[in-house]
Amino acid sequence: MSLNLEQARINMVEQQVRTWEVLDPQVLEALREVPREDFAPSDYRRMAFSDLRIPLGQGQVMMKPIEEGRMLQTLEVQPGHRVLEIGTGSGFTAACFAHLGASVLSIDIVEAFTERAQRRLKRLSIDSVEVRHADALSDFEPGEQFDAIAITGSAAQVPERVLRWVKPGGRVFAVRGYSPVMEAVTLTRSEHDHWRTESLFDTDLPRLAGAEDRPQFEF
């Protein structure tokens, strides 16, 4: 069984992720080595390597492997970096950041997600991830700046308060816009506090909890 799962992870990387312009060897290794199936809900364990978004409950999902790969690659995480993940979800991407050598703070407004992620990370002896139950869009203040921030749910626009938490030279991954066509972007903060935006791909992710849409008019 474990041999089959290991081969399935390799196939996922070679047949899906690599073909989507994810070529960073460290990122590919992280996706091969971190057991994605252990972070998927039990009913979806055998589908953990498929090219689909896996439902987590509470209206949230695990991103497709190809999307996770592009996110990990664009943030250019290096050993010793400090990473903030907004939207813990399953805990899988936090584990990947840890595999890349980062120290990770991962927060989620859904307490059930943070509790499950903590158990999974502990079971795999991943100790460089701190998971907190917190609302990034309300009263959460990290008290520090980060080399990289990953926002795993969508919003109409990238939350401005989050941008204050990025070090000069740091990067933010975010998904912005409205369903059915949203845009995944990387924002890079320059040393002079200017921002450069790079468009990555089109997608359609559930809203980050608390990131309400604009009011809709009724006629």
pLDDT per residue, tens digit, the chain (219 aa), is 466 989 999 999 999 999 999 999 999 999 999 999 999 999 999 999 999 999 999 999 999 999 999 999 999 999 999 999 999 999 999 999 999 999 999 999 999 999 999 999 999 999 999 999 999 999 899 999 999 999 999 999 999 999 999 999 999 999 999 999 999 999 999 988 899 999 999 999 999 987 866 544 333
For residue 3, the model assigns a pLDDT of 62
Cβ 107 vs Cβ 88: under 8 Å? yes
Interatomic CA distance for residues 34 and 164, integer angstroms:
31
- Reported as a single tens digit per residue, the pLDDT across 83-112 is 999 999 999 999 999 999 999 999 999 999
Interatomic CA distance for residues 36 and 85, integer angstroms:
17
| Prior bond of 180 cis (ω within 30°) | yes
CATH of 2-203, one of 3.30.70.1530, 3.40.50.2020, 3.40.50.150, 1.10.357.10: 3.40.50.150
Interatomic CA distance for residues 89 and 103, integer angstroms:
18
Cβ 14 vs Cβ 7: under 8 Å? no
Record the pTM.
0.94
Give the count of beta carbons closer than 10 Å to the beta carbon of residue 141. 10
For residue 191, the model assigns a pLDDT of 83
For residue 211, the model assigns a pLDDT of 80
Interatomic CA distance for residues 39 and 34, integer angstroms:
9
Interatomic CA distance for residues 17 and 134, integer angstroms:
31
